Amino acid sequence: MELAYRDIAYCKNVGAKRADILRSELGVRTAMDLLRYYPYKYIDRSRFYRIAEIEDEDTYVQIVGEVTEWHVTGIGKAQRLVAMFNDGVHQCELVWFRGVQYVKLSKGVKYLLFGKPSRFNHTYNFVHPDLTPWDKVTPEMTQGLEPYYNTTEKMKRINLNSKAIRTIIADLLPDLKAGVPDTIGADVLQHHHLMSLTDALLNVHFPRDTRSMQAARARLKFEELFFVQLQLLRQMKRREQNPGFSMPMVGSRFHALYKSLPFELTNAQKRVIREIHEDLKSGHQMNRLLQGDVGSGKTLVALLCCLLAVDNGYQTCIMAPTEILANQHYETLKNFLAPLGDAVHVALLTGSVSAKNRVPIHNGLMNGTIHILIGTHALIEDTVQWKNLGLVIIDEQHRFGVAQRAKLWTKNETPPHILVMTATPIPRTLAMTIYGDLRVSVIDELPPGRKPVQTIHYPLQRRAQVYSFVRKQIEEGRQIYVVFPLIKENEKLDLQDLQNGFNELCEAFPEYKISMVHGQMKAADKDLQMQRFISGETQILVATTVIEVGVNVPNASVMIIQNAERFGLSQLHQLRGRVGRGADQSYCLLLTRTELTKETRQRMEIMVATNDGFRVAEADLKLRGAGDLEGTQQSGTPFNLQIANLATDGQLVELARRAAMEILDADPLLEDERNRIYKRRLDTLRITQSYNWGEIS
Ligand code: ADP
Ligand code: MG
């Protein structure tokens, strides 16, 4: 029977019990499913070491030699067996803690030792090594790369360990060698010099050598990424066929605002507005991501886009992740719109708007007198009905859950245009996957006259120096942010930290006023404290990361980050973006403990070395790996990649995207006979289950 249809229970060395566990733990139902369960590492069994050649700990080695002496110490649970192993020149130590009674050793016998050394008092020591008498060593054991498979606790409990999986797979090899149907067309494979699926599966499990293992993995990674791209791009192409509201006109309100601006738009701002307007007048629904570093002027771009829609007779809304931000957007927009008088009506709807005050807002949305609604997720409550919502702008997208976004437009018959704005720069190849079904616009230019923020890393002991610097800045009329980290698991302790920090600053700066905000405060109190800082009444703002996103106080020129080691890179960069918004030289001071891990030190070095959000994001991706990247994590990593790694396989991502695009350009819905294999596989994979922009619009 074909491997894809052979029940795993009927494979050799499996049986009902193991089959159950394989199904529940790994989702493996068929022989093919198990062949698709790839090793996570390989150990080179063709190499034999001398003890003197061991270079580092934690790498498996095999050595030929004899056991010269051994002794058992302790009794019961504390029992251990220690043996000396000699390769003819040097000695090392072998140790067993468990199953001591089963270890049988003989003198004058040649053994093959296999295990992971650790250094201990100038000698190496192997805990629970494999020790095989030389006459029992088969050629297979010492041939090529040995695959290792991840196993779960439940699997280990029934002795379904890596070795057992290896055995089950080895039994499938003869059938596999007969050939399995490929998932990718021969033309694509040939064009990109990729192995057939049969060869790839053979070599991923039992590679002849490192090169064939790497070629096999490259083919399987490509395949995985190719189907992700095919899915995303097909979705994008399909949606681009959807009808959308047509907004061709550049009208009076847009022009009036444009003329009233006290500054010229940057070229990048002009370019993205043009790109967005192209979408708005295309007659198809827009789904666009607007990326721009902090301070690049996304808010103004958003407002101008709203006016494009309003001039064409549509309503718009801007969703912000927090109440502070919604308030601030509201204020900013009202300021910008002041010269336009009565021509544009803006309303604010957040959780703290009372039921009574909601009534006129609901009415205004329903009868169309409100043009722009700004709000938090309160804005998606069921009672909110629109006359003709034409454009939705989501600011700082990663703070919104997918479900929340979905809720906003399910009620609409014709979907509104969607613009997602993010200030978290995302490396290109990652964006291709996470936002692979969105068109992307990038504001890659800051307004002129900004001085780059100077970033300095201080160990905590130099606090006095930091304080005297702060005092000088305040004397020059500047304001200061001091941010404390927040770890969710222990809010009480965090608040304690914050309170202590606040008290300490009050003592250090008795002559100045200090505000404090944190997530546990009532919205009204938070607003009051923020307003005091924004108006300049207070000189220092002590805060948790509630101020991370979007807060704009141009007179604030110093950002002090306490325990900077506890923040991720992109968060540090976001925080730094709160300063450097005025004409003055600004500073970001990273305060950390003295003792830092290598990774933390690297994070601080990157922050000091560059202000460029994209470079920070690239570095972050390398340091932490894609699954862990901030922002993507909060919205759930969209694809469960099994073998490809977005942090290191960037080139393959680009290749896969190009290959998928070529196919879809010729056949957008995969209807050609020769593209059937792709369509069928996409249907069975259902790749975007957890992250479907299609559902949103
Ligand atoms: P972000 O992209 O981080 O949301 P903002 O929209 O908050 O950035 O813009 C930061 C500041 O720059 C605001 O004070 C805004 O008014 C100002 N700004 C926006 N565009 C320009 C421009 N073209 N020239 C000068 N200042 C600008
Ligand atoms: Mg912003």
pLDDT tens-place string over residues 641-673: 889 888 788 899 999 999 999 999 999 889 999
Q: Are 361 and 347 in contact (CB under 8 A)?
A: yes
Rounded distance between C-alpha atoms, residue 641 and residue 651, angstroms: 16
Q: What residues make up the domain containing 62?
A: 47-142
Same-domain status, 30 and 62: no
Q: What is the pLDDT of residue 398?
A: 53
The residue behind tokens 């049969």 is 198
pLDDT confidence bin for 509, thresholds 50/70/90: very high
Query: Using alpha carbons only, how large is the chain's radius of gyration in Å?
Result: 31
Same-domain status, 482 and 594: yes
- CA-CA-CA-CA dihedral for 572, 577, 579, 582, to nearest 10: 170
Q: Which atom of ligand 1 is nearest to the CA of 395?
A: 4
Residue 490 pLDDT more than 70? Answer: no
Q: Which atom of ligand 1 is nearest to the CA of 266?
A: 23
Same-domain status, 372 and 504: no
Segments in 368-510 forming alpha helices (H): 402-409, 428-434, 463-475, 491-508
CATH number at residue 394: 3.40.50.300
- Tell me the pLDDT tens digit for each residue of 245-274: 999 999 999 999 999 999 999 999 999 999
Quick check: is 628 in a domain?
Answer: no
Choosing from 263, 324, 453 the residue with most ligand 1 atoms within 8 A of its CB, the one to mutate for a pocket test is: 263
Quick check: is 631 in a domain?
Answer: no
Mean pLDDT for the chain overall:
87
* Section 543-548 average pLDDT: 74
Same-domain status, 472 and 505: yes
Choosing from 265, 300, 393, 420 the residue with most ligand 1 atoms within 8 A of its CB, the one to mutate for a pocket test is: 300
Residue where one domain finishes, among candidates 401, 422, 443: 422
**How remote is the C-alpha of 222 from its chain's centroid?**
20
Same-domain status, 121 and 86: yes
| Least confident window among 115-119, 183-187, 324-328, 404-408 | 404-408
Give, rounded to a whole angstrom, the gap between the first and last alpha carbons of the chain: 43
**Entry pTM:** 0.72
Quick check: is 443 in a domain?
Answer: no
Helix or strand run (H / E) with residue 618 = helix 613-624
**Total tally of structural domains belonging to the chain:** 4
Same-domain status, 266 and 410: yes
Same-domain status, 535 and 562: yes
Residue where one domain finishes, among candidates 422, 438, 466: 422
Quick check: is 520 in a domain?
Answer: yes
Quick check: is 134 in a domain?
Answer: yes
Quick check: is 136 in a domain?
Answer: yes
Same-domain status, 524 and 556: yes
pLDDT confidence bin for 491, thresholds 50/70/90: low
Q: What is the pLDDT of residue 380?
A: 63
Q: Whose CA is nearest to atom 15 of ligand 1?
A: 297
Same-domain status, 305 and 410: yes
Go through 32-70 and write b for each residue having 16 or more CB atoms within 10 A of its CB, e for each that does not.
Answer: bbbbbbbbeebbebeeebebeebeeeeebbbbbbbbeeb
Q: Are 97 and 128 in contact (CB under 8 A)?
A: yes
Quick check: is 675 in a domain?
Answer: no
Quick check: is 221 in a domain?
Answer: no
Q: Are 312 and 248 in contact (CB under 8 A)?
A: yes
pLDDT confidence bin for 639, thresholds 50/70/90: low
Cα(293) to centroid(ligand 2), Å: 9
Cα(322) to centroid(ligand 2), Å: 12
Same-domain status, 28 and 78: no
* Section 577-597 average pLDDT: 90
Choosing from 273, 332, 552, 570 the residue with most ligand 1 atoms within 8 A of its CB, the one to mutate for a pocket test is: 552
Residue 239 pLDDT more than 60? Answer: yes
Between 11 and 439, name the one with better pLDDT.
Answer: 11
* Section 393-418 average pLDDT: 63
HEC profile of 33-86: HHHCCCCCEEEECCCCECHHHCCCCCCCEEEEEEEEEEEEECCHHHCEEEEEEE
Same-domain status, 582 and 511: yes
Residues with CB under 6 A from ligand 1: 263, 265-266, 269, 292, 294-300, 423, 447, 550, 552, 554, 581
The residue behind tokens 């100077």 is 454
Residue where one domain finishes, among candidates 90, 113, 142: 142
* Section 494-513 average pLDDT: 89
DSSP codes, 323-367: HHHHHHHHHHHHHHHGGGGGG--EEEE-TTS-HHHHHHHHHHHHH
Residue 410 pLDDT more than 90? Answer: no
Same-domain status, 38 and 54: no
**How remote is the C-alpha of 568 from its chain's centroid?**
12
Identity at 328, one-letter amino acid code: Q
* Section 270-289 average pLDDT: 94
Identity at 87, one-letter amino acid code: D
* Section 298-317 average pLDDT: 96
Residue 434 pLDDT more than 50? Answer: yes
Residue 612 pLDDT more than 70? Answer: yes
DSSP codes, 2-41: -TTTSBGGGSTTTHHHHHHHIIIII---BHHHHHTS--SE
CATH number at residue 133: 2.40.50.140
